Amino acid sequence: MPEFVRFPLADGGSVLVEVEVEPGFEHASAPSGVLRKATTTFEHALNEVRAAAGAALAQFRDLGPDEVELKFGVKLDAQAGAVIARTGLQGQFEVKLKWVRGEASTEDSAEEEPAKPAAGGEPS
């Protein structure tokens, strides 16, 4: 059953987030369905995930691809804040690296030669 967590915002507002509770797990301090208060701000929680994603992205950029695509889920929790969620049976990141082959140069190195006269002496 989902719970609701209120994350305070740095500007003084707040955002309400629905979070899943593990089956068979119930917080002793709050029955399910009750609004809980997060222990950190929404921005702070996301900033930690952002820092981790930035570090992972930098590592893949060092490989020199033309494009890097990094996918991951973000899970919010009242106690832990924002965490990188599992996206499948194993692992938390889906990474796509792309190298694009350079186009062959189409510039002609020889300049265009002027027309030569035809056999009869007249230019063609």
Q: Per residue in 42-70, pLDDT tens?
A: 898 888 888 888 888 899 999 999 999 98
In a domain, 108, yes or no: no
pLDDT of residue 61: 92
In a domain, 9, yes or no: yes
CA distance 12 to 72: 28
In a domain, 47, yes or no: yes
In a domain, 87, yes or no: yes
Domain that holds residue 35: 3-98
Task: Assign 3-class secondary structure to the chain.
Answer: CCEEEEEECCCCCEEEEEECCCCCCCCCCCCCCCEEECCCCHHHHHHHHHHHHHHHHHHHHCCCCCEEEEECEEEEECCCEEEEECCCCCCCCEEEEECCCCCCCCCCCCCCCCCCECCCCCEC
Q: What is the mean pLDDT of each run of 10 residues along the chain (124 residues)?
A: 81 82 59 71 87 88 92 82 69 82 54 50 54
In a domain, 46, yes or no: yes
Per the structure, how many domains does the chain have?
A: 1
In a domain, 107, yes or no: no
In a domain, 119, yes or no: no
| CB count in 10 Å sphere of residue 17 | 20
In a domain, 11, yes or no: yes
